[in-house]
Amino acid sequence: MQTVIGAVFKPVTKVYYFDPTTMLDLMPNDFVIVDTAKGQELAQIVQSPHNIQDDEVVRRATPWDMLEQDTWKQKEAEALAVSRDMAKEHALDMKIVGCEYNFDGGRLTVYFASESRIDFRALVRDLARVMQARIEMRQIGVRDEAKMLDGVGKCGRQLCCTSWLREFAPVGIRMAKNQQLPLNPDEISGVRGRHLCCLSYEDPVYKEANKKMPKLGSEVTTPQGQGRVRHLHPLKESVTVYLQSNVMAEFAIDELITGKKGGSCGTCGGCTVKRRASAEEDNQRARAENDNQESKTTESKTAETPADAPPRRSRNRRRPRRRGGNQNKQ
């Protein structure tokens, strides 16, 4: 294993690892020049030297490197305006989100958002001619778009992806269910119409807490008698039980004795799961009795009929029609 450093190209973005070769005195917040697929780039160290494979750290960044980087940063706004105008001229259904020059200005990366695939070859040729740089078009998703544009979330604070979140974690509807949140899309979606990233922050805690909880609608025995679970409180490790005395009470899960499990009845006047189950049993018992009676009747009829008796002629059998019936009548 070789010693490496962790560095980022932009604040609050993914950390990349580079081999500093013999420069082991690098410290966090230092700037360095590194080799990448786009060429040499300016990066800032966020992790002290530890381990990777290729020699990718070229040298320590100088004050002139920092000045040159700022120069190209100021030109990115101009490149963004030019890119948007040219996209309109080519009538492309795309949203230009941002532009980014590399360290020496030889490559310009254009970030855009689109719902479908776009043929932007003509746009790339025109941009390369005007900007005098190699053009790279990169399509991004709505989360990356929010990270680049920044904004304010429903909590009233700056977006997590812009302020501190370096990488996006998968977020699903199951996380909202684990936390008993309303499944209204407007309530659990962020500014870009995707599930809130904060749903994943407390999900492991809720998963662990839900393992100790009884199922919703299950029968339990409490110090005040039997009842059914109506509400769960995972963080408090307690449940709300609807008792047989028509009273709602909250109990800690340590005080409960779980009984038979059933579905939630969804009524406020008491659960009807038992009555439904008993009605189904009565129906099954009645069907079984009817089947037994029919089988007995069939057996008695079979016993009364002799084995050598000729088969009965069907009353509905149609008699053959005689030919020449009109001549006989004459």
Ranges of each domain in the chain: 5-61, 67-140, 147-204, 212-270
pTM, 2 dp = 0.58
How far apart, in whole angstroms, are the C-alpha atoms of residue 261 and residue 44? 57
CATH 2.30.30.140 fits 212-270, yes or no: yes
Instruction: Tell me what pLDDT residue 295 has.
Output: 63
At 10 the pLDDT is 80
The pLDDT of residue 328 is 45
Tokens (6 digits) for 10: 């932009």
Tell me the CATH number for domain 67-140. 3.30.300.20
Q: If residue 220 lies in a helix (H) or strand (E), which one and from where to where?
A: strand 219-222
Task: Identify the pLDDT of residue 287.
Answer: 73
Q: How many C-beta atoms surround the C-beta of residue 35 within 10 A?
A: 15
Q: In sequence order, which ranges of the chain are alpha helices (DSSP H)? A: 63-89, 121-131, 142-149, 160-163, 173-178, 185-188, 203-210, 273-304, 325-329
d(CA 5, CA 45): 7
User: Which H or E element spans position 148?
Assistant: helix 142-149
Cα radius of gyration rounded to whole Å, the chain: 38
Helices (H) and strands (E) in the chain, counts: 9, 13
Q: Which two tokens stand for residue 238?
A: 């307690």
User: What pLDDT score does 17 carry?
Assistant: 73
| pLDDT value of residue 41 | 85
Ordered mean pLDDT values, 10 residues apiece, the chain (330 residues): 76 76 76 82 79 62 86 92 94 93 90 91 94 93 89 90 86 92 89 89 92 90 90 92 91 76 42 47 68 60 49 54 50
What's the pLDDT at 103?
82
- What are the b/e assignments for 118-135, b being 16+ CB within 10 Å? bebeebeebbeeebebeb
DSSP secondary structure of 102-122: -TTSSEEEEEEE-SS----HH
Residue 316: per-residue pLDDT = 53
Ramachandran region, residue 80 (left: φ > 0; alpha: ψ -120 to 50; beta: rest)? alpha
Task: State the amino acid at position 213 in one-letter form.
Answer: M
pLDDT at position 174: 92
Beta bridge partners of 101: 108
- What is the C-alpha to C-alpha distance for residues 50 and 17, in angstroms, rounded to an integer? 9
pLDDT value, residue 298: 55
The predicted pLDDT at position 269 comes to 40
Cα separation, 249 vs 263, whole angstroms: 19
